[in-house]
Amino acid sequence: MAHSGDTIPDTYIMELVAACLRGDVAVLREALGHTHPRARILALRGLARANDLTAADWSMLCADTDAGVRRETLSEMGSRGTCHISSAQLIALLGDADPLVAEAAAYVAGEGDVTECEAALIDMVTSHDDSRCRETAVVALGMLGKDSSRSTIVAALVDKPTVRRRAIVALANFEGEDVEEALDRAADDRDWQVRSAVELLRRND
């Protein structure tokens, strides 16, 4: 169903919400091709809830022209702890112009254990302008747990407080003298939440 203009009728939105609740796949599939991104997002949510999204659907939605749709698709995927798209497409999304899309892609890389994304995640941690992306990317590297990324995680301990806190969490998956030395330094961090994260990590060792 197409609608003119930049808005869609509230009645149609209510119809889609009802379709999500009752699992009306036919209505939701029609909305998946709607011209308005809000309709596509609702269709995505409903079809994901009904477990009725194919690999082709996931890939199409991740390539949507609207950043909100791309972000919502990746968030849905990450919340399921799986990656339903190719590693090449996910790597491309890590470089998305919208930082929230890139952040959501990093979330999927970690939750889905997509090891092919390591190099792109390292690049995100070391050079992305948005600290939210650096935070999520450093967590993803910790979840991947590859030794080749440990120096990047340690180096993140000089970033903004929010990134430093995430780096402490990421270091839980690593051992070694360099890690212990980094934690020693972080134990005296000027941010109390960083210090607290170190204390909690060592308490759980």
pLDDT at 2: 53
Decide: pTM greater than 0.85.
yes
| Sequence-ordered list of residues with C-beta below 8 angstroms from that of 162, at least 6 positions apart, any chain | 131, 135
Question: 148 to each of 59, 105, 115, 144, 161, how far by Cα in Å?
Answer: 29, 20, 11, 10, 24
Per-residue pLDDT in tens (0 to 9) along the chain, 205 residues: 555 546 787 888 888 889 888 888 898 999 998 989 999 999 999 999 999 999 999 999 999 999 999 999 999 999 999 999 999 999 999 999 999 999 999 999 999 999 999 999 999 999 999 999 999 999 999 999 999 999 999 999 999 999 999 999 999 999 889 999 999 999 999 999 999 999 988 877 6
| Rounded CA separation 67/163 (Å) | 24
pLDDT at 1: 54
Q: Give the residue carrying structure tokens 């091709």.
A: 33
pLDDT at 70: 98
| 34 neighbors 7 (Cβ within 8 angstroms) | no
| 37 neighbors 69 (Cβ within 8 angstroms) | yes
| Sequence-ordered list of residues with C-beta below 8 angstroms from that of 205, at least 6 positions apart, any chain | none
Q: Give CA angle at 61 (116, 20), nearest 5°.
A: 125
